Chain A
Amino acid sequence: MNPSSTTGSQLGQPNTTAIFFFLLFVGVTLAITYWAARKTKTTSEFFAAGGGVSALQNGFALAGDYMSAASFLGIAGLVALSGFDGLIYSVGWLVGWPVVTFLIAEPLRNLGKYTFADVVAYRLQQTPVRLSAALGTLTVVSFYLIAQMVGAGNLIHLLFGLSYEVAVVIVGGVMILYVLFGGMIATTWVQIVKAVLLLAGASALAGAVLYRFGFSPVALFDEASRQYGAQVLAPGTLVSNPVETVSLGLALMFGTAGLPHILMRFYTVPDAKAARSSVFYATGLIGYFYLVTFILGFGAAVLVGRQAITGMDKGGNMAAPMLAEVVGGTGFLGFISAVAFATILAVVAGLTLSGAAALSHDLWSSVVRKGQAPEHEQLKVARLASLFLGVLAVVLGVVFKGQNVAFMVGLAFAIAASANFPALLLSMAWQRFTTNGAVASMLTGSVSAVLLIFLSPTVQIDLLKNTTALFPLKNPGIITMPLAFFVGIAVSLLFPEKESSERFAEVKHRMHVGAGKPAVAPVAQVPSVSPGAAPRPTATKA
């Protein structure tokens, strides 16, 4: 069982199977987009697929939204190169999902309409809350998008031999078509198709690996420890600093519950019951996927060999495609490459849509037009925002070419955990939460997270090549998340807001009893108040 030589690999060359499968995927998804475009006539259809997605469909779409190329190729590579340590990441990426189920999914579904800002702003003053929530959303989305686009460019360059810029433009262009014309209906189906392909591809690959070991993962792990030493089965250097690890863990765990593109998916299902069921399906699919990825990583280490993997890409990102070629030949390599490409498309489409929702629903419709924008105008702004973000993603992808942007995903999670999650939780669970408290919490969370990452060793030492970093941790979650909670609570207590606490009963009622039909928009009930304008209509109290 010697590592096979990979000289003569088809990797990095235009591969007919890969191109065929990729064109097939794009063709099918564009057909879906065409179908979806004809059904997308309202903002509810554009942002929430009209609330008509079933729990199982949404489970697959959530999984498709979350399982990025980074988790597929990156974790397989990490496991291939460092063994057990990759599993620590897999566990971390998964444990946010129960938290989403327990604390967020159904209240969000019952209180909101398109964005998580709907929930935070429900009983608070619309303008300041939506402005700060949109800032948090757009920051998270931008960092996540940059990381995806740069990753996409590199991967496709490695897989297909296309130039980086061409790859970024293809990804951006196809993604814009999905979002612009098909909205959430098309995006949902792109994510479902991608999730099925990714799960099937990873399972087939794992099956082909395990076939050589009598379908025993343990025999595979044993072979790996024979080749690379027993330490591949034990924790290595990844966790050297416990404080650092807990900090990263907090960001991963609560960041998932603050990712705008994930939260947005809960508005696509008809009710709270479907919302919770969909997270259960998603958690199972994602957990299974990570376990399979672990097998792929060990399979690549044993069957491809670490040297060959790092020879192709230092970061190990090519471990899974190379494994596919070794166990299944060029055709299988082509299929896995096409799946990786499809994976990126689905994730960037979801991200762009959530950014567009923040721009058009939170900023334009609620802040600029104070809830007075007619339907056709909202839809037009939503499409313009999607186009704008899609083009921006391509531009940023090209601008950041060659940069090491892996830290940006961690940053996105840290901001989501610090800026979005505390305000979201406090607005649902704490009666005395106020407008000032929400704004202070969201701003503190986003600013402190960005600032501390800038001062962290990741940026100062790895990126800027300084010798020291002012802030010792790579991930600031352990500081910034408690800080955002503390500031939100302190400011709320210092500046009480009578109206907000009076309206908490309404929040509680609605949060549990639910919105009923998805078409019932909370915005219609929440008077959109501008500071200094006429007092709130008291219909809800009368």
Chain B
Amino acid sequence: MSEPSRNDALEALAASRWRVAAALTVATLVAYFGFILLVAFNKPLMGQQLVPGLSVGIVLGAVVIVTAWALTGIYMLWANGKYDRALSQLRR
């Protein structure tokens, strides 16, 4: 009897997953291509040393790597928590 509403809820949940996934993908793209384009177009900035031995480029490169990991972590926390809970309720 509740089939249509259950389907609607599932659709909405699926849509929310794609939205989160798309937003995080865009965030990754921005971080990565932001870094690459800075390397391509602003070499002096990337070579500037914050303290002797530590250039802006090295910091940003490390930041992109850590950001990529952190975004993956954010998705995992969201999906393993909120999303899976909603899904398991619908499954019943």
Residue positions of A touching B, CB distance < 8 A: 84, 87-88, 90-92, 94-95, 97-99, 101-103, 106, 218-225, 230-231, 233-235, 239, 242, 245-246, 249, 253, 273, 276-277, 279-280, 283-284, 287, 290-291, 429, 508-509, 511-513
The verdict on A283 contacting B68 (CB below 8 Å), with A95-B32, A101-B75 known, is yes
> In the complex, how many angstroms separate the beta carbon of A429 from the nearest chain B beta carbon?
7
Determine if B1 is an interface residue (Cβ-Cβ < 8 Å). Answer: no
Q: What are the residues of chain A within 8 A of B84 when measuring CB–CB?
A: 273
Contact B33 A246 (CB under 8 A): yes
Knowing A235-B46, A508-B14, the reply to whether A97 touches B80 (Cβ < 8 A) is: no
Give the contacting residue for A239; candidates B25, B36, B69; CB below 8 A.
Answer: B36
Q: Could you tell me if B40 and A99 are in contact, using CB atoms closer than 8 angstroms?
A: no
The winner among B41, B64, B69, B79 for most chain A CB atoms within 10 A is: B69
Among A231, A249, A276, A513, contact of B10 (Cβ-Cβ < 8 Å): A513
Contact of A280 among B31, B46, B76 (CB under 8 A): B76
Contact B57–A234 (Cβ < 8 Å): yes
Would you call A512 and B14 a contact (CB within 8 A)? Answer: yes
Task: Establish whether residues B57 and A101, one from each chain, have CB atoms under 8 Å apart when the complex forms.
Answer: no
Cα distance, A131 to B64, chains bound together (Å): 38
- Of B10, B24, B58, which contacts A87 at CB under 8 A? B58
Of B17, B37, B76, B91, the contact of A101 (CB 8 Å cutoff): B76
CB contacts between A and B, total, < 8 Å: 155
Among A88, A235, A242, A245, the one with the most B-chain Cβ atoms within 10 Å of its Cβ is: A235
Q: Which partner residue on chain A sits nearest B61 by CB separation?
A: A87
Known: A242-B37, A509-B10. A221 touches B53 (CB 8 A): yes
* Chain A residues whose C-beta falls within 8 Å of the C-beta of B53 in the assembled complex: 218-225, 233
- Interface class of chain B by DSSP: helix
Q: In the complex, which residues of chain A have a beta carbon less than 8 angstroms from the beta carbon of B32?
A: 91-92, 95, 249, 253
Q: Say yes or no: B68 contacts A97, CB within 8 Å.
A: yes
A284 to B43, CA, bound (A): 28
B interface with A by C-beta (< 8 Å): 10-11, 13-14, 17-18, 20-22, 24-25, 28-29, 31-33, 35-37, 39-41, 43-44, 46-47, 49, 51-55, 57-58, 61-62, 64-66, 68-69, 71-73, 75-76, 79-80, 84, 87, 90-91
B39/A95 in contact, CB under 8 A: no
Bound form: Cα–Cα A222–B62 in Å: 17
Asked if residues A235 and B24 are in contact (CB atoms below 8 Å), the reply is no
Can you show 28 pairs from A to B with CB atoms below 8 A apart? A84-B47, A87-B57, A91-B64, A99-B25, A101-B76, A102-B22, A102-B24, A102-B25, A102-B28, A222-B54, A230-B47, A233-B55, A234-B47, A235-B39, A239-B36, A242-B37, A242-B40, A246-B33, A276-B76, A280-B72, A280-B76, A287-B65, A287-B68, A291-B62, A509-B10, A511-B14, A512-B14, A513-B91
B75 CB to nearest chain A CB (Å): 6
A509-B44 Cα distance, complex, nearest whole Å: 51
* Of the residues A88, A234, A508, contact of B55 by C-beta under 8 Å: A234
Listed residue (B13, B20, B29, B90) with the most chain A CB atoms within 10 angstroms of its CB: B29
A91 touches B65 (CB 8 A): yes
Task: Kindly state the separation between the CA atoms of A184 and B12 in the bound complex, as whole angstroms.
Answer: 37
Closest B residue by C-beta to A225: B53
CA distance in complex: A261, B5 (Å): 39
List, in ascending order, chain B residues with CB within 8 A of A246's CB: 33, 36-37
B68 touches A235 (CB 8 A): no
A512 near B17 with CB under 8 A, answer yes
A103 to B57, CA, bound (A): 29
Q: How far is the CB of A150 from chain B (nearest CB, A)?
A: 28
Q: How far is the CA of A279 from the CA of B76 in the complex (A)?
A: 9
Partner of A235, one of B14, B33, B43: B43
| A235 engages B72 (CB within 8 Å) | no
Contact of B21 among A90, A102, A230, A253 (CB under 8 A): A102
Query: In the complex, what residues of B have CB within 8 A of residue A84's CB?
Result: 46-47, 55, 57-58, 61
Q: Point out the residues of chain B lying under 8 angstroms from A509, CB to CB.
A: 10
Q: Which residue of B lies closest to A513 (CB)?
A: B91
Residue of B10, B39, B87 ringed by the most chain A CB atoms within 10 A: B39
Q: Which residues of the other chain, A, contact B91 by a CB distance below 8 angstroms?
A: 513
**4 tightest A-B CB contacts, nearest first:** A234-B47, A222-B53, A233-B55, A242-B40
A84 to B52, CA, bound (A): 15
Residue in B36, B58, B68, B72 whose beta carbon sits within 8 Å of that of A233 in the complex? B58
Known: A95-B32, A245-B36. A103 touches B25 (CB 8 A): yes
Known: A99-B25, A101-B75, A277-B80. A218 touches B54 (CB 8 A): yes
Measured CA separation A273–B46 after assembly (Å): 39
Q: What A residues does B20 contact at CB under 8 A?
A: 102
Given contacts A220-B53, A512-B14, contact A280 B73 (CB under 8 A): yes
Instruction: Name the residue on A nearest B90 (C-beta).
Output: A513
A540 → chain B, closest Cβ, in Å? 15
Residues in B with CB closer than 8 Å to A290 are 65
A233 touches B65 (CB 8 A): no
Complex Cα–Cα for A287 and B67 (A): 10
B72 touches A279 (CB 8 A): yes
